[in-house]
């Protein structure tokens, strides 16, 4: 088990713009590995470093949702270099438990990043859940949460839940 814990809505680190990674050090590789472990343990499909209290430009993703055939992806210093189309689907976030709402985002994206070994890679024309997940995690590095992008109606519906989470996070 990794000993990382996932911070929740209301935590200041979730609202900070995360710092660029200069070198992918062994400590950062370990952080990526621990984040994957924490993500799998929480049954998530993505996790960004600010969600474990580390304000660095790193997130991990695995949209395979298959325990036997995992396909973990590690992104350091990701950049979304192209996007097109529009798609709407329900999202949730490990830092915002029990809140689900529809978010509209570009449908197809091209992303560039450094992998776990610090080697540059590009994913061209990612779509469906992978595109959505990468954009959601990318937002975390900018201090943006999916609840910033939901409809006024959904915001109202989830308002008391979000207030409660904020209170709980301040109590920590």
User: Annotated active-site positions, please?
Assistant: 137
Q: Using the rule CB under 5 A, is 93 a contact of Ni ion?
A: yes
The encoded tokens of residue 164 equal 């409660």
Output the smallest distance, CB 119 to Ni ion, in A. 26
Pick between residue 93 and residue 113 the one whose CB is nearest to Ni ion.
93
The encoded tokens of residue 27 equal 């400590």
Pick between residue 109 and residue 119 the one whose CB is nearest to Ni ion.
109
Applying CB under 5 A, which part among 2-10, 13-21, 66-74, 88-96 lies near Ni ion? 88-96
Q: Using the rule CB under 5 A, is 47 a contact of Ni ion?
A: no
Pick between residue 18 and residue 93 the one whose CB is nearest to Ni ion.
93
Output the smallest distance, CB 169 to Ni ion, in A. 15
For β-strands 108-114 and 58-61, DSSP reports them as unpaired
DSSP letters, 69-113, are S---EEEEEEEEEEEE--EEEEE--TTSTT--EEEEE-SEEEEEE
**Sign of the torsion formed by the C-alpha atoms of 138, 61, 45 and 17:** negative
Interaction site with Ni ion (CB under 5 A): 93
């Amino acid at each position: 088990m990794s000993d990382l814990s996932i911070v929740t809505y209301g935590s200041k680190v979730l609202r900070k713009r995360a710092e660029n990674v200069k070198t992918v050090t062994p400590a950062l590789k370990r952080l990526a590995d621990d984040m994957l472990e924490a993500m799998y343990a929480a049954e998530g499909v993505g996790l960004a470093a600010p969600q474990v209290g580390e304000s660095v430009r790193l997130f991990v993703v695995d949209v395979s949702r298959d325990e036997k055939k995992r396909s973990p992806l590690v992104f350091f210093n990701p950049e979304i270099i192209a996007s097109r189309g529009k798609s709407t689907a329900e999202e949730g976030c490990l830092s915002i438990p029990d809140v689900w709402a529809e978010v509209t985002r570009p449908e197809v994206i091209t992303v560039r990043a450094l992998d776990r070994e610090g080697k540059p890679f590009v994913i061209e024309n990612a779509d469906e859940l992978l595109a959505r997940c990468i954009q959601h995690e990318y937002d975390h590095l900018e201090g943006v949460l999916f609840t910033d992008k939901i409809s006024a109606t959904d915001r109202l519906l989830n308002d008391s839940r979000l207030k409660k989470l904020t209170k709980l996070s301040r109590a920590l």
